[in-house]
Structure 1
């Protein structure tokens, strides 16, 4: 079928909305009409840093309505409202033990440009176009494996839900699934973008007594306070480590680092109390740490977390229920853009004008 998609033809090029051809769903796959899709930093990385082959259709936070199911699909039916998340094999040890975010085939399935059977679903003339995260949601329709498609409640505005598939799931899941802070403990969240603010909301759900939000934009710190932060610190104006140690009895029990900025990573470690745990979720370049003083000497832990260590088909419906109950108001992060303003949405996101852009396609 002919569809419209935002094609990335080469490294660093603007998105170009063009007509492409989409092959129908094969066994265990579904055809989804995309209603909306989040704009995520990972899409910008893929556009600019060649982590996937070009030409490609990016996008990996899609929400939509199932229009057709392929053979052997048992969990979904036409008309279902769905959110699409990351691809995973479902067969390796990590998938089978509830950790599909570290699937043995994760990089190939999400960044390799092909579907699980090593074929393409997107075409333009005689050229095959790469698929991203097993979905390529910067398009009016997608074909995805049922394994990475999550059925959601029809009572909630479907256009809001796409970012639950990646950024929001990453922040909330890092707190609720991996760190699992004990009631009454303290946590610091470094970076108040969509990931960090989702972590703040999750920390409030978990019952953290002190929730520190660290950023360099006062507007984002104000929103962090509204969403549950008990302390806000502008890293340009204060000694973050000193302020946290003073307010948190020597340091926080937990930290989530979402910026990927090496000096901030060091801050998150140095502001932990002994036995504290830091989860790194930002894309961080090569950097140096003092293993003895920053970690070992005080029994601290630093862990990497991908996609919030979530099982999307379990965790995303839970986030929807928290949202319906008024405990996870992620809609406050969102600004909608029409599909043809995709490049503007990315520019606004990069400048910090908006926390979480969502493109509306239907």
Structure 2
């Protein structure tokens, strides 16, 4: 079958919209007609060659759509089901067996190497192989092939074109708060970086009942959005020392902090703002080999904790429908972050994401 796809053919270049071929799903695969897909910072990082994903490749890993065909070994979904496609995992390693799918021992090859496990691809153009299976989906296309382990069925009444970002960016921020840090009612929380991930974390902190919710960012428009979404305080580190400001607000420091920037100096500020027994999670990825510099006495003597978090430590089969339900109840308004684009506008959507003009772009396929 022929489909339309946006292909990354050269490092840092715009994606090329082309008509290409997609194979029939194998016995353990699922063919999804993509309705819409979110654009995530990870797509941009890979396009720019900062991770070892081979080119040419169809990126995209926040896809939502309708199941069109299933292989004979698939029982989780059937044609006609509405689904969200999330990150891929092996389902067999010790982490997967313990339901920690985001720490799958094969997470990197299954999500970033852009091939099936046997090295093949389902996509081609005029006989030229096009790498696919990025995050188990490659959803920058009108159709995508995914797997039982990374497809999540959502209710028939769900606003499907809106739900793609729940697969990665929104899930990562909200899950960091709810699943990994386990922020609880009455506790203080600050997020460093107020993009789609950070603002999703902020909304999750409000849902669980955090009483002091602080957003830290240099972008005043993002800080205004944070206030509209429930931040009790906002801090611009270009104007004040965020650590000192947080200590002043809380009196003793934070119970929980979350960094979404991956910048070492910002992570240090977040840790320095922790109260004794406070915990800081880090989500933002920086270049391989980057190091974090902490004050050892401050860190150790207060029993403070620093943890890396991947995909919000979520079980997508339960967490994505929960977030969708919270949205339906009006308690998790992540739609406030979204701007829609047509598929033909995908490069403009990416540019708007890079510039900060749009918090969370979603590309509609039709």
TM-score by length of 1: 0.98
Equivalent residue, structure 2, for 1:114? 115
Q: Is 1:39 matched with 2:43?
A: no
Q: How does 1:228-243 map to 2 (within 5 A)?
A: 228-243=230-245
- Consecutive unaligned residues of structure 2, counting only runs of 5 or more, are none
Note the C-alpha offset of 1:342. 1.1
Q: Is 1:168 matched with 2:170?
A: yes
Q: Please give the secondary structure, in 2, of the residue aligned with 1:169.
A: helix
Q: How does 1:1-40 map to 2 (within 5 A)?
A: 1-40=1-40
1:315 to 314, 319, 333: 319
Query: For the residues of structure 2 that align with 1:332 and 1:29, how far apart are their CA atoms?
Result: 34
Equivalent residue, structure 2, for 1:361? 365
Equivalent residue, structure 2, for 1:276? 278
Q: Deviations over 1:300-346 (max 9, x none)?
A: 11000000001111110010111111111000000001111111111
Q: Deviations over 1:217-259 (max 9, x none)?
A: 1111111111121111111111111110011122100001001
Q: Is 1:333 matched with 2:337?
A: yes
Equivalent residue, structure 2, for 1:75? 76
Query: For the residues of structure 2 that align with 1:194 and 1:21, how far apart are their CA atoms?
Result: 33
Moved over 4 A (4+): none
Q: Please give the secondary structure, in 1, of the residue aligned with 2:336.
A: helix
1:206 to 205, 208, 216: 208
Q: Please give the secondary structure, in 1, of the residue aligned with 2:131.
A: strand
Query: For the residues of structure 1 that align with 2:203 and 2:97, how far apart are their CA atoms?
Result: 29
Q: Please give the secondary structure, in 1, of the residue aligned with 2:205.
A: helix
Note the C-alpha offset of 1:293. 3.4
Query: For the residues of structure 2 that align with 1:248 and 1:29, how far apart are their CA atoms?
Result: 51
Equivalent residue, structure 1, for 2:309? 305
Distance verdict in 2 for CA 1:50–1:278, change over 3 Å: closer
Q: Please give the secondary structure, in 2, of the residue aligned with 1:133.
A: helix
* Maintained 8 Å contact 2:264/2:293: no
Q: Deviations over 1:66-122 (max 9, x none)?
A: 111111111101111110000100001101111010101111110111123432111
* Maintained 8 Å contact 2:137/2:145: yes
CA RMSD of aligned residues (A): 1.1
- Consecutive unaligned residues of structure 1, counting only runs of 5 or more, are none
Query: For the residues of structure 1 that align with 2:347 and 2:98, how far apart are their CA atoms?
Result: 39
Equivalent residue, structure 1, for 2:199? 197
Equivalent residue, structure 1, for 2:300? 296
Equivalent residue, structure 2, for 1:51? 52
Equivalent residue, structure 2, for 1:124? 125
Query: For the residues of structure 2 that align with 1:118 and 1:92, how far apart are their CA atoms?
Result: 20
Query: For the residues of structure 1 that align with 2:39 and 2:53, how far apart are their CA atoms?
Result: 17
Equivalent residue, structure 2, for 1:62? 63
Distance verdict in 2 for CA 1:288–1:321, change over 3 Å: closer
Query: For the residues of structure 2 that align with 1:150 and 1:158, how far apart are their CA atoms?
Result: 12
2:355 to 345, 351, 355: 351
* Maintained 8 Å contact 1:45/1:51: no
Query: For the residues of structure 2 that align with 1:69 and 1:290, how far apart are their CA atoms?
Result: 50
Q: Number of aligned pairs?
A: 362
